[in-house]
Amino acid sequence: MRRLVLKVVFLGLLSSTLFAQPPADPSFEVTSVKSNRTEAPATTIFPLGPGDAYAANGGRFRATNQPLIAYLRFAYRLGQRDLLDLPRWVYDERFDIDARANGEPTKDQMRALMRSLLKDRFKLVAHTEQRTQPIFDLELATPGRTGPQLRAHHTEECVAAIEPQFTTLAPSQPARRSPSIFQLPTLPCGSVGFVTIGTPAGDRVRIVGNGEPMDRIAEALKSPPTGIDRYIRDRTGLSGTFDLSLEWSVVPDTVQAPITVQDDMPPRFLEALKTQLGLTLSSTRGPVDVLVVDRVERPEEN
């Protein structure tokens, strides 16, 4: 009898193991997805960039008039990875997403929730491949030396976040010099996000980082304002984390109006990268992770 009882218990445990359901993907408690055909500006109460820091808001995600590509880049933390085989509407059509999660998820946990939402509401199916493509290597312009606006991060210098401020006046007014490079805008200590600042005149952009490793600095340099559209690989040999402030002019030489050509205008991006950060980009080829979208559909609204 004892042997029989043991056998029954064992079979019960085996059965529960064999037929146990796999854990469900994390999901938002409440979600709303709607198409947006207005001319209103895109907004979000949750930062969609590649960084990890954000202000706690009770697990709320709300973004309006954003293209699906913005949600995809956020959910998969694409940064420098390319997206392949996407239909045109993913870039052109806009959507409002309003969702709420339990507790205070981290930003990576919120990304996982967004991936689940995209699979459920947009029927997204995707996979990652590694391909050899043209890339840039980020290198020191002078071995062993960084530029004046790239410095080692010191925790004791951390300050609270402040509102971004512009560094030029309106287009009809002359440009003015920027204040001290590490005064504005400032990111929270330990953040891994970047702030890209456009000015009212649209003639200059600034990226500021606080406590960033060099691979994340390389990642931030691939963006529309810089004009760099390739993956950037860190080959500086610099370890640790850094503070940086990089400012450059985004107005092409051929279309600059005389009013914008000022003695204190910042340089073009590649020149600024070298003189301010002491870094250069070298063209080469290398492996790049790309996200291939196998399937995506327009959502049913609610």
Per-residue pLDDT tens digits for 178-203: 334 444 344 555 554 555 555 555 56
Give how far Cα 7 sits from Cα of 14, 17, 124, 179, Å.
10, 15, 45, 78
Q: What is the pLDDT of residue 197?
A: 56
Chain mean position to CA 52: 9
Consecutive H or E run containing 10: helix 2-18
Q: Which pLDDT does position 99 carry in this prediction?
A: 96
Task: Determine how β-strand 43-44 pairs with β-strand 60-67.
Answer: antiparallel
Is there a contact between 197 and 167 (Cβ–Cβ < 8 Å)? yes
Give the closest residue to 93 by CA, choosing from 70, 123, 74, 59.
70
> Can you tell me whether residue 146 is helix, strand or coil?
coil
State mean pLDDT over 226-253: 84
pLDDT score, position 300: 87
DSSP designation for 230:
S
| Sheet containing 82-84: order of strands | 82-84, 279-295, 125-140, 232-234
User: What residue type is assigned to position 67 of the chain?
Assistant: P
Count other C-beta atoms under 10 Å from residue 254's C-beta: 5
Per the prediction, the chain carries an average pLDDT of 75
Query: If you ran DSSP here, which 8-state letter would residue 8 be given?
Result: H
Alpha-carbon distance of 178 to 95, in angstroms, equals: 37
- Whether the link from the prior residue into 185 is cis, omega within 30° of 0, is yes
> What is the structure's pLDDT at 1?
44
Assign 145 to helix, strand or coil. Answer: strand
Is the pLDDT at 163 greater than 50? The verdict is no
Quote the strand ranges of 117-190, DSSP E: 125-140, 150-152
Phi-psi region of 70 (alpha: psi -120 to 50; beta: other; left: phi over 0): alpha
Cβ–Cβ < 8 Å for 211, 52: no
pTM: 0.64
**Among residues 124, 120, 107, 122, which one has the least CA distance to residue 30?**
120
pLDDT at 46 over 60: yes
Which position has the token pair 């760099």? 228
Answer with the residue of higher pLDDT: 237 or 164. 237
Q: What is the mean pLDDT of residues 271-297?
A: 93
DSSP structural state of residue 187: P
Q: 262: number of CA atoms within 13 Å, CB side?
A: 19
Residue 124's SS3 state is: coil
Q: Is the pLDDT of residue 126 over 80?
A: yes
